Amino acid sequence: MSPQKRGLFTWTMVLVTLAFFYLPLLLLTFFSFNHSKSMVWEGASFRWYAALFLHSPDLWASFGKSIMIALSASLVATLIGSLGAIGLYWYAFKSKRVITVLTLLPLLLPEIIMGVSFLIFFSKIGLPLGLFSIFIAHTTFCIPYVFLIMTARLDEFDYSVIEAAYDLGAQEWVVLTNVILPICRPAIMASLLMSATLSLEDFVITFFVAGPGSTTLPLYIYSMIRFGVSPVINALSVVLIVGTAIIAVLTSRLFKYVIQK
């Protein structure tokens, strides 16, 4: 496995790919410290960070809404998705395949289809568009990820542990809380993390189901970038990239479950 086994071509392609990924992000970082409002370097300054942190109340309000939705949607999605995965895994149902396909459907549908069908559905049943409609939409598209992560974990461990617990006289409730849930803990953490990330990140579906006064952070960013380049977005980008990197470092031992999807 010496580097020469990977020829010059692969080395070049990797460097091109990494440059392609990181140059734009590095340029954003560089210009976020620019004093000038335009994309021409005129000396270093923290003024856009000051503008971001001190003078952007609307942006932070939208961030608060995003956090609220991410927390509630990831909790509910993890609860429903985990229970469903455990149920389908441990118990025999006739409709097992149907439920599995139905649960995984959002992974296959284009986002815009989910957004449009939610919008039409909410207007049909008369649910006003707002934070609650966003919560419902986000929970729905997070459930399949939770389901996949949990199923991967359940596949991994020894079924006989459960049988042993039953043989030793444990009640179903005890088996769930004292055996299954502790075993699934890393997968539950990964599900929460994945759902919260997807929810914080989502733009397209939210775009269709948000109403007046329920602007989430991605919607706010969208409305800002539609008007072109702004140094405040440069600063915000850097904050988000650094935040992402920190979360990735802290949670790297959960990667296994997240990548397996």
Partner 1 sequence: MKSRSGYAYIAPLSLWMGLLLLAPIGIILSYSFLKRGLYGGVSNQITLEAYQQLWSPLYAKVFLNTLLLSGIATVIMILMAIPTAYFMARSKRKTLWLFLIIIPFWTNFLIRIYAWIAILGNNGIVNQCLLRVGWIDQPLRLLYNPLSVILVLVYTYLPFAILPLFSTIEKFDFSLLEAARDLGATRFQAFYKVLIPAIKSGIFSALLFCFIPAFGQYAVPALVGDSRSYMMGNIIARELTITRNWPLSAAISTLLTLATLFALMVFVIQGSRPARVKPIE
Residues 190-219 that bind partner 1 (CB under 8 A): 197, 201, 203-204, 207-208, 218
Q: Which is nearer to partner 1, 50 or 242 (CB)?
A: 242
Site for partner 1 in 10-49 (CB under 8 A): 10-11, 13-14, 16-18, 20-22, 24-25, 27-28, 31, 38-40
Site for partner 1 in 230-259 (CB under 8 A): 233-234, 236-237, 240-241, 244-245, 247-248, 252, 255, 259
Are 115 and 205 in contact by the 8 Å Cβ rule? The answer is yes
Backbone angles phi, psi at 53, to 5 degrees: -85, -30
Q: Name the minimum Å distance from CB 1 to partner 1.
A: 6
> How many residues interact with partner 1 (rule CB under 8 A)?
88
Asked if 102 touches partner 1 (CB under 8 A), the answer is yes
Of 46-54, 56-64, 79-87, 183-191, the segment contacting partner 1 by CB under 8 A is 79-87
DSSP 33: T
Please select the residue that binds partner 1; options are 19, 44, 109, 250, rule is CB under 8 A: 109
Are 80 and 143 in contact by the 8 Å Cβ rule? The answer is yes
Q: Name the minimum Å distance from CB 57 to partner 1.
A: 20
Q: Which is nearer to partner 1, 42 or 50 (CB)?
A: 42
Asked if 152 touches partner 1 (CB under 8 A), the answer is no
Of 53-61, 135-143, 149-157, 183-191, the segment contacting partner 1 by CB under 8 A is 135-143
In angstroms, rounded to a whole number, what is the distance separating the alpha carbons of residues 78 and 129?
24
Work out the burial of residue 34: count CB atoms within 10 Å of its CB; fewer than 13 is exposed, 13-18 middle, 19 or more buried. buried
Q: Which residues partner with 34 through β-bridges?
A: 44
Helices and strands: H and E segment counts in the chain: 13, 0
Q: Name the minimum Å distance from CB 58 to partner 1.
A: 16
Please identify which residue in the block is written with the tokens 């990977």.
6
Question: Shortest CA distance to 147 belongs to which of 88, 91, 95?
Answer: 88
Are 72 and 142 in contact by the 8 Å Cβ rule? The answer is no
What does the chain come to in residues? 261
Q: Which is nearer to partner 1, 16 or 50 (CB)?
A: 16
Please select the residue that binds partner 1; options are 47, 117, 170, 211, rule is CB under 8 A: 117
* Structure-block tokens of residue 173: 């409730």
